C-alpha cells in the first residue's frame, strides 16, 4: 500500500510538471507554483487522514473496489485537469458561458479552509444528472441556468428596472431593496473564484454526465483523494458549458451513475468542508430557490440546535414515502428486496450530509445486497444501512440518522399542459400567486397509481420558463416589489396586521395604522412555555388573533418549549384529559400562513420576511434526567426548625410534593425556551431587544401588543416591563413582556436566585419557601426595577384564561383584580364559531369551568375569516 501511494505521488508530480503551462497567471514563478501545488496536496492528504480518524469513518483502503477506469484516470497526467483556477476578472461571466474567466490547472483557487460554524449559511452541492446525447437536454440545462439557478440576479434586475422609472432619487438605499447577491454558483465558479464567492454562495451546482463510452458505468474507489481524478481529460476549456461535469464513466441511469455522483460530491466535500450537503435532483425538477434556501436553512439549524451539536453529520432529507408504498404497483415501483429503513426518500430531490455521501460510496456500504432497480429506494437503503453497519471501525449499533422530512402535498406539484399547477395530494389547482412562499420544488413524473394524479412529463423548457416567470414575479411583488415601485416611496407606511379585515370579496386585507415602532426596526421574540392543553381547539385560534396579528408588523421570531405527554390526570387545577401536545407544532404553519396572507394582500410597500419558529421539547424522562436531583433537593431540604426550606407549607392549596414538582416543571420550561432563543440568536448573529413570555395553555381573550404600554403609547425607548394586573398572589406570574435584560431575570434567573431567597427573605422563611408569585414579587421584580432601573407596568389592557386538557375553561380567571372585564362575552363573540354552544359547570365552590361544543375547523386561520377584525384593536400609538 505504501508503494501504491508513492507511485500515485510520483504521478501527481509528473502531472503537475506537464500542466505548468496551463496554470493560472497568479504572479508566482512556475517552479514556485509547482511547489505550492505539491505542498498543498501533501498537507491536504495529512489533514484528510486526521479528519477521517476524527470522524470515526476510517475506511480500510485495502478493501477498495478497483476497476479499469480508476487506474486509467490516475495513470494519465492530462486527466488531472481541475475545474478552474484563479480568474482574471472579478466578474462572473454571463449565464451559461465561461468567457475565459480562468484556465485549467490542478488546484482550485482556495487559499483557506473554512469549517462550518454557527452563523454560517448551510451550503448545498447540487448534482443534476444530464446527458450529452440530446439537444433537448442541453436546452434544459440552459433553461435552469436562466431560471432557478439565476434567481438572485433576476430579482436584482427587476428592482433596478423599477428604480429606473422611479421619481425617488435612490431607492436602492431603502431597507427593503434587494441586495445584489450571488447565492448560486457553478462548481467551476466555486473552485475558480473561491476567495471572492465562498462566503455568499450557498448552492454550488453541477450537471453531471458520463462521457467515456468504453469505461465502466461507475467509479467507486475509496483510495481516490481528488475529485478531479474522476473527470475525463477534456472536461473543461474556455468555451465549455457552465456547471457541466464530465465524469469518466459510461453514460447510464441505474448502473452506478448516481452513486458515482455521491463519491464525487464527497471528494469535493473533502476539499471544501464548509459544504454541508450533497444533493441529487432530477433534471425535471424545478426548485423555487429562495424558498428552498430559507426553509432548509431553518430546518438545518433547528436540527443542529436540538442535537446540541453543530456538526452537519448523519442527516438525510427529502420527501418521504412509507415502506409500504414501495411495491404498491409491481409494474411501476417493484421492490424485490426488503427495505432497510422504515421510509425512503422520493428521487426527484434528496440530500444527505457529506459523511453519508462518503459512506454510501465506500466499500463499507453493502450496496450489492440492497440495490434494486429503483435509484431512490436504493439510495435510501444505502443511507439507512449506516445505522447498524459493523464494518465501520468504532461504530455504535443503532447510530441515529436524523431526517429532514418535507410534506408531499406542499412540495410536489404537477404542471399540466396549460402550465397550471396542481396539488399532488388532491389533484386540485394550486394558486401560485397566493402561495408563492409555500413551495420548495416542483416535479413531474407519470405515476398512474391509486389516489395519485397522472402527471405530465416535465420536459418542455417553455413550460419551465413560464412557471418560473410566474413564480419569480409573484415572489418579487410579494417580498420586494411594492417597496420598489415608482412613485410610492415615502408616501405609504407599514400595514398593521392589527387592522386586518374582510373585503367585499372575502379576502384578508390590511389597513394602515400609525406606529412609531415600524417593521424590522428592532428584533423581538415571543416565547411560549408550558404544557399545551386543548391547543388546536382553543389556544391556537386565540394566539393567531390576539398575539400573532397584533405583533405581525414587528416581525418577531417565535420560540416554543413544550412537554410531550399523552395524558394529564385530575388535579386541583382541573379534570383529567388526553393531551395532543404535537398540536403545538401547528403554530409554525399558522405563522407562515398569516405572513403569506399579509404579504399578498398588503397594499403598501413594506412586506415581511418569514420569522423564525423554533421548537424544543421534553418528555417526563428527559425532565427528570435534567432536574431530578434538584427536585429531590427541593422536596427534602429543611430548616433548622424542621420545616421545609423550599416547599410552601403555609399555602393551604398546595399539595406536597406535586405542586412543587409542577412549579419546577414550569420554571424548567421557561428557562429552556429562553436558552433556545439565546442559542439561536448566537447562530443567527442576531440581537433581540424585546421579548415576551407567554403560556401555551391559555386562551388570549384580548390582543397583546408587546410594545404597547400605558395610555396607548409604544415603549420605543424600551424601558418598561409589563405584567397583568389581576389574579395577583400578590402579583401575576403568568406572562411578561419588555426589554431583553429585564425579561431575562424573570425567565432565566429563577433557579440561580432561589437558594439565597429562601434563606434570607422573611416571607419565605415564614413558611412560603419557593411560592412562585411571592418569589417574583420579593426577589425578581425588585432586581429588575431597583438594580437594573426598568419601570414596572401592571396592566388591565388584556385578559387571558387557562384551559384544561378536557376542554374546561377557567373563564373567570381575570375576575380577581379585573372585575370589569367580560371574558365570557368576548370569548364567545370573537373566538368561537357561530355553531358553538357553551355552559358553565361547577368545579370548586369558588369557581366554574366553561365547556363548549362546536365543529373543529381544519383551516388554521378560520377565526380571522369567520370573525373578521372590523376595527382597530389598540389605542392610537404615541411615543414615550
Q: DSSP letters of 757-794?
A: HHHH-HHIIIIITT-HHHHIIIIIHHIIIIIS-PEEEE
pLDDT at residue number 434: 66
Strand order across the 613-618 sheet: 613-618, 557-563, 524-529, 690-695, 736-739, 720-724, 791-795
Task: Assess contact for 537 and 856: CB atoms under 8 A.
Answer: yes
Instruction: Categorise residue 99: left if φ over 0, alpha if ψ from -120 to 50, beta otherwise.
Output: left
- To the nearest 10 degrees (0 to 180), the angle between helices 289-307 and 658-684 is 130
Nearest 5°: CA angle at 275, between 272 and 278? 115
Sorted by sequence, the CB contacts under 8 Å of residue 91 that are 6+ apart come out as none
Taking alpha carbons only, the member of 561, 420, 497, 467 closest to residue 705 is 497
User: β-strand 244-247 against 343-353: which pairing, if any?
Assistant: unpaired
Dist CA 614 CA 612 (whole Å)? 6
Helices assigned H by DSSP within 453-562: 461-476, 482-484, 540-543, 549-551
Taking alpha carbons only, the member of 274, 311, 269 closest to residue 113 is 274
The predicted-structure confidence for 264-277, as pLDDT tens digits, reads as follows 999 999 999 999 99
Note the pTM of the prediction, 2 decimals: 0.49
Task: Assess contact for 645 and 760: CB atoms under 8 A.
Answer: no
Dist CA 462 CA 465 (whole Å)? 5
Flag residues of the chain having pLDDT under 70. 1-119, 163-180, 233-240, 327-333, 388-438, 442-460, 480-522, 572-573, 599-608, 845-846, 870-880
Q: DSSP letters of 598-656?
A: HHHH--SS---PPPPEEEEEE-HHHHHHHHHHHHHHHHH-B-TTSSBSSS-TT-TT--T
pLDDT at residue number 43: 44
Amino acid at each position: 500500500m505504501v508503494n501504491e501511494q508513492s507511485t500515485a505521488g510520483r504521478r501527481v508530480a509528473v502531472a503537475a510538471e506537464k500542466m505548468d503551462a496551463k496554470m493560472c497567471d497568479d504572479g508566482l514563478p512556475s517552479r514556485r507554483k509547482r511547489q505550492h501545488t505539491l505542498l498543498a496536496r501533501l498537507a491536504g492528504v495529512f489533514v484528510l487522514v486526521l479528519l477521517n480518524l476524527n470522524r470515526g469513518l476510517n475506511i480500510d483502503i485495502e478493501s477498495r473496489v478497483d476497476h479499469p477506469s480508476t487506474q486509467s484516470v490516475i495513470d494519465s497526467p492530462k486527466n488531472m485537469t481541475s475545474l478552474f483556477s484563479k480568474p482574471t476578472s472579478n466578474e462572473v461571466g454571463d449565464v451559461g458561458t465561461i468567457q475565459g474567466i480562468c484556465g485549467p490547472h490542478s488546484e482550485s483557487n482556495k487559499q483557506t479552509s473554512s469549517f462550518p460554524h454557527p452563523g454560517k449559511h448551510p451550503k448545498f452541492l447540487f448534482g443534476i444528472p444530464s446527458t450529452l446525447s440530446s439537444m433537448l437536454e442541453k436546452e434544459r440545462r440552459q433553461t435552469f441556468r436562466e431560471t432557478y439557478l439565476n434567481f438572485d440576479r433576476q430579482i436584482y434586475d427587476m428592482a433596478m428596472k423599477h428604480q429606473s422609472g422611479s421619481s425617488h432619487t435612490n431607492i436602492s438605499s431603502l431597507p427593503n431593496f434587494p441586495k445584489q447577491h450571488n447565492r448560486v454558483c457553478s462548481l467551476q465558479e466555486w473552485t475558480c473564484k473561491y476567495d471572492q464567492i465562498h462566503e455568499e454562495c450557498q448552492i454550488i451546482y453541477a450537471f453531471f454526465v458520463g462521457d467515456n463510452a468504453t469505461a465502466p458505468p461507475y467509479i467507486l474507489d475509496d483510495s481516490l483523494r481528488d475529485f478531479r481524478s474522476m473527470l475525463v481529460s477534456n472536461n473543461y476549456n474556455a468555451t465549455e458549458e457552465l456547471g457541466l461535469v464530465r465524469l469518466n464513466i459510461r453514460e447510464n441511469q441505474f448502473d452506478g451513475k448516481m452513486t458515482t455522483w455521491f463519491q464525487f460530491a464527497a471528494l469535493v466535500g473533502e476539499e471544501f468542508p464548509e459544504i454541508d450537503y450533497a444533493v441529487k435532483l432530477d433534471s425535471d425538477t424545478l426548485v423555487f430557490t429562495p424558498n428552498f434556501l430559507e426553509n432548509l436553512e431553518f430546518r438545518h439549524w433547528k436540527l443542529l440546535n436540538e442535537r446540541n451539536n453543530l456538526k452537519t453529520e448523519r442527516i438525510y432529507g427529502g420527501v418521504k414515502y412509507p415502506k409500504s408504498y414501495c411495491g404498491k404497483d409491481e409494474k411501476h415501483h417493484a421492490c424485490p428486496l426488503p427495505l432497510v429503513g422504515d421510509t425512503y426518500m422520493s428521487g426527484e430531490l434528496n440530500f444527505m450530509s457529506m459523511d453519508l455521501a462518503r459512506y454510501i460510496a465506500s466499500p463499507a456500504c453493502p450496496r450489492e445486497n440492497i440495490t434494486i432497480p429503483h435509484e431512490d429506494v436504493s439510495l435510501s437503503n444505502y443511507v439507512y444501512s449506516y445505522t447498524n453497519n459493523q464494518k465501520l471501525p468504532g461504530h455504535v449499533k443503532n447510530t441515529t440518522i436524523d431526517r429532514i422530512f418535507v410534506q408531499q402535498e406542499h412540495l410536489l406539484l404537477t404542471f399540466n399542459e396549460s402550465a397550471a399547477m396542481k396539488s399532488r395530494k388532491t389533484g386540485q389547482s394550486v394558486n401560485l400567486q397566493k402561495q408563492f412562499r409555500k413551495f420548495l420544488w416542483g416535479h413531474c413524473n407519470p405515476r398512474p397509481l391509486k389516489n395519485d394524479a397522472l402527471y405530465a412529463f416535465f420536459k418542455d423548457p417553455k413550460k419551465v420558463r413560464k412557471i418560473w416567470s410566474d413564480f419569480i414575479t409573484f415572489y418579487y411583488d410579494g417580498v420586494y416589489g411594492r417597496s420598489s415601485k415608482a412613485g410610492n416611496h415615502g408616501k405609504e407606511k407599514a400595514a398593521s396586521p392589527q387592522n386586518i379585515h374582510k373585503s367585499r370579496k372575502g379576502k384578508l386585507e390590511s389597513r394602515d395604522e400609525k406606529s412609531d415602532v415600524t417593521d424590522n426596526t428592532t428584533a423581538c421574540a415571543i416565547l411560549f412555555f408550558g404544557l399545551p392543553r386543548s391547543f388546536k381547539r382553543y389556544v391556537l385560534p386565540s394566539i393567531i388573533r390576539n398575539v400573532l396579528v397584533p405583533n405581525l408588523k414587528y416581525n418577531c421570531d417565535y420560540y416554543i418549549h413544550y412537554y410531550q405527554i399523552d395524558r394529564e390526570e385530575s388535579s386541583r387545577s382541573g379534570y383529567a384529559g388526553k393531551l395532543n401536545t404535537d398540536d403545538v407544532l401547528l403554530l409554525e404553519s399558522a405563522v407562515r400562513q398569516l405572513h403569506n396572507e399579509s404579504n399578498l394582500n398588503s397594499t403598501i410597500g413594506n412586506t415581511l420576511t418569514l420569522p423564525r419558529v423554533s421548537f424544543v421539547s421534553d418528555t417526563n424522562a428527559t425532565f427528570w434526567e435534567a432536574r431530578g436531583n434538584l427536585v429531590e433537593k427541593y422536596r427534602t431540604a429543611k430548616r433548622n426548625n424542621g420545616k421545609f426550606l423550599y416547599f410552601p407549607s403555609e399555602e393551604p392549596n398546595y399539595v406536597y410534593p406535586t405542586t412543587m414538582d409542577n412549579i419546577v416543571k414550569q420554571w424548567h420550561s421557561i428557562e429552556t425556551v429562553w436558552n433556545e432563543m439565546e442559542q439561536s440568536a448566537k447562530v443567527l448573529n442576531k440581537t433581540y431587544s424585546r421579548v415576551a413570555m407567554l403560556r401555551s395553555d391559555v386562551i388570549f381573550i384580548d390582543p397583546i401588543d408587546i410594545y404597547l404600554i400605558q395610555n396607548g403609547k409604544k415603549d420605543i425607548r424600551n424601558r418598561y416591563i409589563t405584567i397583568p394586573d389581576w389574579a395577583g398572589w400578590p402579583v401575576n406570574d403568568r406572562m411578561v413582556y419588555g426589554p431583553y435584560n429585564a425579561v431575562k431575570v424573570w425567565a432565566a434567573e429563577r433557579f440561580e436566585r432561589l437558594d439565597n431567597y429562601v434563606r434570607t427573605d422573611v416571607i419565605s422563611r415564614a413558611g412560603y419557601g419557593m411560592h412562585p408569585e411571592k418569589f417574583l414579587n420579593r426577589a425578581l421584580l425588585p432586581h429588575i426595577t431597583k438594580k437594573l432601573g426598568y419601570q414596572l407596568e401592571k396592566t388591565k389592557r388584556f385578559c387571558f384564561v387557562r384551559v384544561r386538557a378536557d376542554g374546561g375553561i377557567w373563564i373567570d380567571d381575570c375576575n380577581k383584580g379585573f372585575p370589569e372585564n367580560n371574558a365570557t362575552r368576548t370569548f364567545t363573540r370573537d373566538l368561537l364559531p357561530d355553531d358553538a354552544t357553551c355552559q358553565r359547570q361547577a368545579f370548586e365552590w369558588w369557581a366554574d369551568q366553561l365547556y363548549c361544543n362546536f365543529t373543529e375547523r381544519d383551516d388554521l386561520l378560520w377565526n380571522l375569516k369567520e370573525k373578521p377584525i372590523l376595527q382597530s384593536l389598540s389605542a392610537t400609538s404615541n411615543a414615550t
